[in-house]
């Protein structure tokens, strides 16, 4: 299973396309399904390591989706992407196991840097978790 990638679950088509282009250009294998069913399919097929999730997707709140996604793949790394987020929602998302909360990228040239760094860290973490423990050379 070497086809791991990044999945973008954002209700806004323009934002989904913008983030997909940003990460495709950076060399990531990106999928951006238009429905929660498409998201679940990618996660169940184990082709996804990292999910960029908006606060609402396919009529579901992120706090409703996160536990479901984690049940499908407990090793999944989820980055919540939102510009404005009530503190109660952020606390609940953190308690459900998100990796990071990032701001939605704007349209400026450096606006996606925080998100790029968060995704890089998420993949580094996911790759570390996949490596089997090596016996020490004594």
State the Cα torsion 101-104-109-114 to the nearest 10°: 0
Comparison of pLDDT for 85 and 95, the residue scoring more: 95
pTM (two decimals): 0.87
**Parallel, antiparallel, or unpaired: how do β-strands 30-31 and 5-9 relate?**
parallel
Any idea what DSSP says for residue 80?
A: E
What is d(CA 70, CA 64) in angstroms, rounded to the nearest whole number?
Answer: 11
**Backbone torsion region of residue 120, taken as left when φ is above 0, otherwise alpha when ψ lies between -120 and 50, otherwise beta:** alpha
Tens of pLDDT, residues 89-115: 889 999 999 999 998 887 666 778 889
Mean pLDDT of all residues in 46-73: 92
User: What's the confidence (pLDDT) of residue 52?
Assistant: 97
Only one residue has tokens 């299973």, namely 1
- Tell me the percentage of the chain whose pLDDT exceeds 90: 60
Using 50, 70 and 90 to split pLDDT, how confident is the model at 131? low
């Amino acid at each position: 299973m070497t086809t791991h990638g990044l999945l973008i679950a954002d209700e806004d088509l323009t934002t989904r396309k913008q983030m997909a282009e940003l990460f495709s250009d950076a060399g990531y294998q990106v999928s951006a399904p238009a429905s929660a069913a498409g998201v679940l399919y990618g996660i169940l097929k184990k082709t996804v390591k990292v999910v960029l999730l908006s606060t609402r997707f396919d009529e579901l709140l992120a706090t409703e989706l996160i536990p479901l996604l984690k049940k499908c793949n407990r090793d999944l790394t989820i980055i919540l992407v939102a510009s404005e987020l009530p503190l109660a929602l952020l606390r609940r998302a953190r308690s459900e196991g998100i990796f990071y909360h990032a701001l939605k990228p704007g349209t400026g040239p450096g606006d996606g840097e925080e998100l790029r760094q968060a995704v890089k860290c998420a993949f580094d973490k996911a790759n570390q978790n996949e490596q089997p423990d090596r016996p020490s050379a004594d």
